[in-house]
Amino acid sequence: MAGGEIDDEVNEKLESSGLYLLLVSPDFLDSDYCMEREMKRAMERHHSGDARVVPIIIKPCDWKNTSLRDLKTLPRDGKPISDWTNKDNAYLNIVQELRRVLEAEEMQEAAVNEDARNPLVATKLGVHRYRVKRDFDEIDRSEYREKAFGIIQDYFKNAIEEINTLEDLRGRFFSPSATSFTCTVVNKVREHGTAHITVHGRSENMGFGDISYSFSKDAPSNTANGMLSVDADEYEMFLNPTLVGLGQHEERLTPETAAELIWEDFIQQAGVTSA
C-alpha cells in the first residue's frame, strides 16, 4: 500500500505465503533483491515444507545455473513463454498445473502454518482444516462428467492450434456434436505419420463409460481404445481409467491430467512427443 514500509511488508508476505510464483527473466536473475532476499527466503521455506515455490519462465535466461534447476518449472519443460508461438497455450499449461498444485492435499497442509492452527485464524485465512463426507447423486456425477468432457475438449482444441504453428506438423479439430470431437495430427516428415482420435462424452447411444476415446477417425461411441469413468470417494469426484489406454497411470485423475495423458498417447501415434 502507498505509504507502507516496503521491506516490512515484503518480509510479512514472505513469511505468511504458502505459494510463491517466481516470474523468471534476465531482469529477475539480475536483481539482487529478487535473488538474494525474496527467492532465498522462499526457497528456505520450500525446502522446510512450509511453502511451495513454482518458477514460471517468462523469457530465455540462465536459470538452469541457479537453485531453480532442481524444481519443476512452468510452462511445460521450462520453455519460456516468449518462445511459444501461441502464448495462450503457454498460459493454459501454467493454469492447469497451478490448479493441480492448489488441489493437492499437501498444498493445504503447507498453507496451515503454526499461526493458522487455531481454527478461528484458519477460517480467516480461508484454509479449511476439515474434510466433509458427502453422497454424490446422479446429477452431481452428470455435471462433473460434462465439465470434465469440456475441459478435455478445450485442451485438445488449444493443443491443435499450437500444432498448427509448427513447421513439420499439421492438425485438425472438429466437433460434430455437443458430446464428441475428433482430431487429426499429420507428421509431414514421417511416412505413415498420421494420427486420429475420436473422443465421446456419455450419451444415450454410448454403450459404456462416461468418456471414451478411439484412435481412429469418426469412431462410433461403442468402440474404444481407452475409457474414463466418473468415480467418487466419500469426499470428492474424480476420473478413473477403466479400460486399457490410461490403465497404466494412476487411478484417480483430474480432467486436466486426463486430457494431458490422452493427448500424449494420441500424438505418439504420429511419431510426436511433447518436448
**Secondary structure, 3-state, the chain:** CCCCCHHHHHHHHHHHCCEEEEEECHHHHHCHHHHHHHHHHHHHHHHCCCCEEEEEECCCCCHHHCHHHHCCCECHHHCCHHHCCCHHHHHHHHHHHHHHHHHCHHHHHHHCCHHHCCHHHHHHCCCCCCCCCCCCCHHHHHHHHHHHHHHHHHHHHHHHHHHCCCCCEEEEEEEEECCEEEEEEEECCCCCCEEEEEEEECCCCCCCCCEEEECCCCCCCCCCCEEEEEEECCCCEEEEEEEEHHHHCCCCECHHHHHHHHHHHHHHCCCCCCC
The amino acid that residue 188 corresponds to is K
Q: What is the pLDDT averaged over residues 38-55?
A: 88
DSSP run (H or E) holding 237? strand 237-244
Q: Kindly report, residue by residue over 218-262, the tens digit of the pLDDT.
A: 898 888 888 899 999 888 899 988 765 554 555 678 888 889 889
pLDDT at residue 130 in the model:
62
Q: What is the pLDDT averaged over residues 132-139?
A: 86
**By the 8 A CB rule, do 155 and 263 touch?**
yes
Question: Which residues neighbour 208 within 8 Å (Cβ) at sequence distance 6 or greater?
Answer: 222, 224, 227, 243
Q: Delimit the domains of the chain by residue range.
A: 6-104, 138-268
251: helix, strand or coil: coil
The amino acid that residue 266 corresponds to is F
The pLDDT-based confidence of 124 (bands split at 50, 70, 90) is very low
Could you tell me which residues are beta bridge partners of residue 243?
227
What is the third-level CATH fold of 6-104?
Rossmann fold (3.40.50)
Query: Which of 122 and 130 is assigned the larger pLDDT?
Result: 130
The answer, yes or no, to whether residue 118 has pLDDT greater than 60, is no
Q: Kindly report, residue by residue over 4-41, the tens digit of the pLDDT.
A: 788 888 888 888 888 899 999 999 999 988 898 889 89
Could you tell me which residues are beta bridge partners of residue 61?
none
pLDDT at residue 245 in the model:
55
pLDDT at residue 114 in the model:
46
User: Considering the entire predicted model, what is its pTM?
Assistant: 0.57
Share of the chain above pLDDT 90, in %: 37
Q: In the chain, what's the furthest Cα-to-Cα distance?
A: 66
pLDDT at residue 119 in the model:
53
The answer, yes or no, to whether residue 53 has pLDDT greater than 80, is yes
Query: Which of 232 and 131 is assigned the larger pLDDT?
Result: 232
Q: What is the pLDDT averaged over residues 125-140?
A: 73
The pLDDT-based confidence of 48 (bands split at 50, 70, 90) is confident
pLDDT at residue 131 in the model:
67
The answer, yes or no, to whether residue 109 has pLDDT greater than 60, is no
What gap in Å lies between CA 26 and CA 168, rounded to an integer? Answer: 31
pLDDT at residue 180 in the model:
94
Among residues 59, 75, 66, 76, the alpha carbon closest in space to that of 43 is found at 66
pLDDT at residue 204 in the model:
46
The pLDDT-based confidence of 125 (bands split at 50, 70, 90) is very low
Q: What is the pLDDT averaged over residues 45-67?
A: 89
Q: Kindly report, residue by residue over 155-172, the tens digit of the pLDDT.
A: 999 999 989 988 899 999
Q: Is 4 exposed, middle or buried (0-12, 13-18, 19+ CB in 10 A)?
A: exposed
pLDDT at residue 205 in the model:
46
Query: Which of 234 and 185 is assigned the larger pLDDT?
Result: 185
What integer best gives the mean pLDDT of the chain? 83
